[in-house]
Structure 1
Amino acid sequence: MTQTVLVTGAGGYIGSVLVPKLLQQGYKVKALDRFFFGEDKLESHENLTIIKEDSRRIREELFAGVDAVIDLVAISNDPSGELFQEATYQINHIARVTTAHMAKKCGVRRYILPSSCSIYGFVDKSVTVDEESPTNPLTTYAKANEKAEQGILPLVDNNFTVVVMRQATIYGYSPRMRFDLAINGMTLGAWKNGVIPLMRDGTQWRPMLHVQDTTDVMLKLLTADHDVINGQIFNVGSDKNNYQLGPLADEIAAALPIDVKIEWYGDPDHRSYRVSFDKIERALGWKAKWTAADGALEIYDALVSGQLDSLEQTITLKWYNDLIKWHRIIKEVEKYGGIIEI
């Protein structure tokens, strides 16, 4: 029997990669999103149902016939989380907990929560954290993710499988491209100016994860044995993608077919965490396929070829602020349902 998956945040950076994969695998998909970045990020398909809705207004009838939920929806990245703190807690925490409760009530069998390794916050550089390590979320984004985990994991039972993915920092090409992510931003700077912008001081540890790898894990979790994953937290990434940011920038510069220099900016970044991914490799037999060099070359080629031909939506916080500005202007000048033509 064909299974139906409800994906929230389906038009986002990860969702616009995940949804086509689900459809290719034969799933039916209900794709819920506000589509701030446009509905064109998902191509039409006979098994795809677009639901243009806010996750804070989710209704029980949306879960009819749904077998699994992948709850991607989030205000993404730390700068957006700090500017829109209330909305971040509403969406990243409360809305996802509400979605999980509704899913369980409506008979959905499986719920996947994509969380973040950012909840580890700052860890001594000599320490490698695992899923049992204490958390130390430093930002609104990280704190909201932790609260979502805490609100959803207690829902597990034999009829409702819940699993948490603590994802490393994502990179790689997506139809809803983002250049406010470390590797992606470095690659854009190298292509555009021959300069990789790097936040001081470059010694901070950060695990990285390609968007193709994390969506592969989501597919795997849809069919993984209940007894192996239920109630479990998995760090998702790989040891080869545990980078200090300085050497990471050097690796990207060496991988690209152009001359690149590194340019330092800002105050030292106090977020630093080195993460163990032994659990997911052991439990699910999964290993990441992509490296930072692979991802940088993929993005560079897309820029050179013109596949990435519009960059205005790719800095999330800037786009949110633009939408708010335009919304205010339109409200001020709109009359009788129109602007010029009424």
Structure 2
Amino acid sequence: MRNKTVLVTGATGYKGTVLVPKLLDKGYRVIALDTQWFGNFLPEHDNLSVIKGDVRQTADVDLEGVDSIIHLASIANDPCGDLDPKLTWEVSALATMQLADKAKRQGIKQFIYASSGSVYGVKEEEQVTEDLTLEPISEYNKTKMVAERVLLSYADDMAVQIVRPATVCGLSARMRLDVSVNMLTMQALKNGKITVFGGAQVRPNIHIDDITDLYIYMLENPSKTSGVFNAGFENISIMDIAKMVQEKVECEIEVTPSNDPRCYRINSDKLLATGFIPKKSVAVAIDEIIAAYQQGKLTDEDRYYNLKWMQREVL
């Protein structure tokens, strides 16, 4: 397994910035491809090549010597996806199709894809398993669904491993403060007040260390993890997350109306049955964010909000 070369797209993003150092620590050679719209927080390393490039320019992506691909690159989250639908489809769907086709032509045998747990749309079922229909409601969700379908068509040519992650939480050097747990914790720390829109909406969650550990687990266990897997271990309402934060940071909770219909849970029994064991929780993520903020290692910056930063710096 060691000395393999892994191409990670979206490598300088929120998850990639945590994943790449873990791969390097395990002895992998890593090619990190990213537009670097939000910067580059990766450490220098002899086995790391960082390429500032656009995944849409597939002809420029050199797959020579690459053993496996972990494809994280996309226009992340619903508001950003709706900002420029054409860009979203080009990056999150068309580029994925072109990269998969190139991987097949060059004989790459493993393609791990970061989809989204939100591809199911709004579900009433208590247990949202991989067998349920996909009814995406946003441009972001729709591109993920289409990309999944395209990738599965290559399953006879390479190991196609698709992860439908829950909302990720926890610390990264390229932080995101526009995802629920991180955002509510920062609001409490900085303002002494949390604003909850609605609050009854239930969202699945996964710690960033668990999702990045999962990509490595899939990399090292392609036969056990071929196909589609949900990845989320705590289905919690937004209000309950706010109350979890309030128990650790003195703050008030203000509730305002919401027209956000997104309310979904996911069941990850299929993944757990392969032997993968999550190690961290939402509560741990909150504790880690509080500690980093209090130690001056985490600040509230515009680049940590995808929509705000894209509107200002990208589009």
TM range (shorter): over 0.9
Q: How many residues align?
A: 314
Deviations 1:301-336 (A, max 9, x none): 1111111245121111111111147xxxxxxxxxxx
**1:236-255 → structure 2 map (5 Å cutoff):** 236-238=231-233, 241-254=234-247
Q: Does 1:123 align with 2:123?
A: yes
Deviations 1:96-142 (A, max 9, x none): 11111111111111000010011111011x53210001111111111
8 Å Cα contact 2:110/2:222 also seen in 1: no
Q: 1:175 — aligned with what? A: 173
Q: 2:11 — aligned with what? A: 10
Amino acid at match of 1:183: V
Amino acid at match of 2:269: D
Higher helix share: 1
Structure whose alpha-carbon radius of gyration is higher? 1
Which of 249, 267, 270 is the equivalent residue of 2:261?
Answer: 270
8 Å Cα contact 1:10/1:33 also seen in 2: yes
Which of 277, 280, 283 is the equivalent residue of 1:287?
Answer: 277
Partners of 1:136 and 1:32 in 2: CA distance: 30
**1:1-342 → structure 2 map (5 Å cutoff):** 2-39=3-40, 41-59=41-59, 62-124=62-124, 126-157=125-156, 159-200=157-198, 202-226=199-223, 228-230=224-226, 232-238=227-233, 241-254=234-247, 256=248, 258-283=249-274, 285-309=275-299, 311-324=301-314
SS in 1 for 2:56: helix
* Structure 1 unaligned spans of 5+: 326-342
Deviations 1:119-169 (A, max 9, x none): 111011x53210001111111111110010011111012x51001000000
Partners of 1:289 and 1:6 in 2: CA distance: 26
8 Å Cα contact 1:60/1:102 also seen in 2: no
SS in 1 for 2:115: strand
Question: Would you identify which runs of 4 or more consecutive aligned residues in structure 1 move more than 4 Å?
Answer: none
Percentage identity across paired residues of the two chains: 37
8 Å Cα contact 1:206/1:244 also seen in 2: yes
TM-score by length of 1: 0.89
SS in 1 for 2:62: helix
Q: 1:334 — aligned with what? A: none
* Structure 2 unaligned spans of 5+: none
Amino acid at match of 1:23: L
SS in 2 for 1:298: helix
